[in-house]
Amino acid sequence: MKDDSKLSKPCAPKPGRLSRRGLLRSGAAAGVVAVAAPAIVKAATEPQVDTSFKDFVISKLPCDDSLVKLQAKGEIVVGTSDDWPYSYYPANSQEWSGLDADIIKYVAKMLKIPKITVSTVEFSGLIPGLLDGRFNIVGDSIHWTIARSKVVEFCFPTYYYSEWLAVKKGNPLKIVSFADMKGKKIATLNGTNYAEWLRGVEGLDLVVVKNWQEVLQDLVLGRVDGIIYDQPVLAASFKDHPEWPVELVEGYEPRTFKNPVGYSRYAFRQADAQWCNAFSSALEWMQDQLEMQKILTKWNLTGYNN
């Protein structure tokens, strides 16, 4: 679910502070004028890290204390859509599990945040819930888009995967690409990039549903001609259910390219620059120390996904 990625925005100049351009302009108007450098106001306390992670450091952002506040509270609230295999609750279990769950738990330990509370909503409600303050991070697989980048901040990339096309076994309608979908009924998950892409296909009969299980069910029961969804989910589901009369399309070329935009990330409020930046620093450390690779391997992903 997926233009270049943005880095955390620098904090806006505080009232009364001269920008570099303003400083030059003042000097030109007044001749030689001594301008004292404004003092940087630091947060009451510095953010902490678990020093057992050797050489792990985070940058000090002077204008934001969002991480400090979370550390003082000792808790983060994570928004997810109960999305297997990324972020979900197994049947008859209260243990938050999944690829993204493992990554976020690891980072929370690095940043000395002992408690994680999980809030489950539909995928389309993740960003609105974040903006409303119901949780501190969208901790489900989500990707950078132009529309999303206007309202939330994204952390450092985590892992890559693409969308894929699945159809009825034997592909009787010969659907191999978006161009073949005109006049066909295609389903995908509401709130995803896939839904945005499919809305741009002329003559396509688009079905958007609230959860990924419905996407699969629509295809298995023959309600739609094809579906677009996450390749790892489709591949794992079809492997577990060989009796289903469905298949992944050979020769499909995904629109999700393997560049930073194609990588899964997590979303943060734009005001929470310190929290987002520290999280990114932790992810970079995990990549460098091969801890990310260990988690990906646990979930049957390979170097291709890193």
Tell me the helix, strand and coil percentages in the chain, rounded to 5: 35, 20, 45
Q: Both 197 and 107 in a single domain?
A: no
Q: Both 66 and 147 in a single domain?
A: yes
Kind of pairing, strands 185-189 and 226-230?
A: parallel
Instruction: Please choose, from the candidates 168, 171, 180, the residue with its C-alpha nearest in 3D space to the C-alpha of residue 253.
Output: 180
Q: What is the C-alpha separation between 206 and 204, in angstroms, rounded?
A: 6
Instruction: Please choose, from the candidates 274, 288, 275, the residue with its C-alpha nearest in 3D space to the C-alpha of residue 54.
Output: 288
Q: Both 112 and 225 in a single domain?
A: no
Cβ atoms of 157 and 151 within 8 Å: the answer is no
Q: Does residue 13 sit within a domain?
A: no
- Reply yes or no: is the peptide bond before residue 85 cis, omega within 30 of 0: yes
Q: Which residues form the domain of 115?
A: 53-160+259-305
Q: Does residue 40 sit within a domain?
A: no
Per-residue pLDDT 10s for the chain (306 aa) are 433 333 334 443 333 333 222 222 233 333 332 333 344 444 447 899 999 999 999 987 767 899 999 999 999 999 999 888 899 998 888 999 999 999 999 999 999 999 999 999 998 899 999 999 999 999 999 999 899 999 999 999 999 989 999 999 999 999 999 999 999 999 999 988 899 999 999 999 999 998 888 999 999 999 999 999 998 889 888 888 999 999 999 999 998 888 888 899 999 999 999 999 999 999 999 999 999 999 998 887 888 788
DSSP string, 243-298: TSSEEEPTT---S--SSGGGEEEEEEETT-HHHHHHHHHHHHHHHHTTHHHHHHHH
Q: Does residue 199 sit within a domain?
A: yes
Distance of CA 143 to the CA centre of its chain: 5
Q: Both 67 and 192 in a single domain?
A: no
Q: Both 127 and 177 in a single domain?
A: no
Q: Does residue 26 sit within a domain?
A: no
Q: Both 134 and 207 in a single domain?
A: no
Q: Both 57 and 79 in a single domain?
A: yes
Per the listing, tokens 């400083």 go with 23
Q: Both 93 and 173 in a single domain?
A: no
Q: Does residue 44 sit within a domain?
A: no
Give the CATH number for residue 277: 3.40.190.10
Q: Both 61 and 141 in a single domain?
A: yes
Look at the chain and report how many structural domains it folds into: 2
Q: Both 182 and 194 in a single domain?
A: yes
